[in-house]
Amino acid sequence: MAIFAYFASALIGLSLGLIGGGGSIMTVPVLVYLFGVSPILATSYSLFIVGSTSLVGAFNNYRKGLVSIKTALLFGISSISTVFLTRKFIIPAIPKHIVYIGTFNLTENILTMLLFAVLMVAAASAMIRSSRKNEPEVLEPKKLNLVKLLIYGVAIGLATGLLGAGGGFLLIPTLVLLVGLPMKQAVGTSLLIIALNSLIGFTGDLGHFHMDWLFLGEITGIAIAGIFVGGMIGKRINGAGLKKGFGWFVLVMGVYIISRELFFK
């Protein structure tokens, strides 16, 4: 089981290297179900792992000229502050036992995994849909709508802060459709935004949890190695087909988590 768990950790980075996103959606389930980490602590660890791996990916894209620093900083005004405030104040305020529904006890851990499963289903749907159509490589630059950018930033910041997921499947369409970035630049820019959101959000957890830094370093290192392997493999295979297959896998996992948390506790 331990070997499989570490292999699954490599898949987090591998998917980032292969398809530019989606890997972070697997981080929390891997930590919870394979390593036995509590869901709330897993969201914290996920922020560090996702942030570190995304930072490496963003640096690789920056060297290729595929990161819009201005867009990342504008988006980050709302998203980064939202993630930090969510981790610093909202997460500690959530009660351990939320509500009883008949004999069912909705706890903080169960709610976290259910919300995460819903996010996985949404991410899977987005990946499956995007793999069915040709995404434009070049779009006309658009005049930035700062109000919409701030609203989207808050929404993605909440998702990242509450669940520890990077939200690349939300970010990339936003950067393409709202900002008008070319697809490859949207991927690179989203990695930088995810890195900033996640790592700064993680600092909001310091003092709230006891961190196993050795374990965290091991998983992060494995995930980062996966990025480089994925980048090399990605040059030789069909990215659209891979994204669709990964999307179906994430969808199945999301449905499994919902079933497990509701009916098999």
Widest CA span of the chain, in angstroms? 56
Structure-token pair, residue 7:
């292999």
User: Where does the pLDDT of residue 144 fall: very low under 50, low under 70, confident under 90, or very high at 90 and above?
Assistant: low
Q: Which domain holds residue 232?
A: 2-263
Tell me, what's the pLDDT at 36? Answer: 93
pLDDT higher than threshold 60 for residue 105: yes
pLDDT tens string 205-253? 888 888 999 999 999 999 999 888 877 776 677 666 777 888 888 899 9
Domain count, the chain: 1
Tell me, what's the pLDDT at 135? Answer: 52
pLDDT higher than threshold 80 for residue 156: yes
Tell me, what's the pLDDT at 259? Answer: 94
209 forms beta bridges with 206
**106/134 Cα distance (integer angstroms):** 42
Closest CA to 201 of 79, 108, 116: 79
First to last CA, the chain: 21
pTM of the model: 0.84
Closest CA to 223 of 22, 1, 40: 22
HEC states along the chain?
A: CHHHHHHHHHHHHHHHHHHCCCHHHHHHHHHHHHCCCCHHHHHHHHHHHHHHHHHHHHHHHHHCCCCCHHHHHHHHHHHHHHHHHHHHHHHHHCCCEEEEECCEEEEHHHHHHHHHHHHHHHHHHHHHHHCCCCCCCCCCCCCCCHHHHHHHHHHHHHHHHHHCCCCHHHHHHHHHHHHCCCHHHHHHHHHHHHHHHHHHHHHCCECCECCCHHHHHHHHHHHHHHHHHHHHHHCCCCHHHHHHHHHHHHHHHHHHHHHHHHHCC
12-16, 31-35, 82-86, 89-93: segment of lowest average pLDDT: 12-16
73-87, 108-122, 125-139: segment of lowest average pLDDT: 125-139
Average pLDDT, the chain: 84
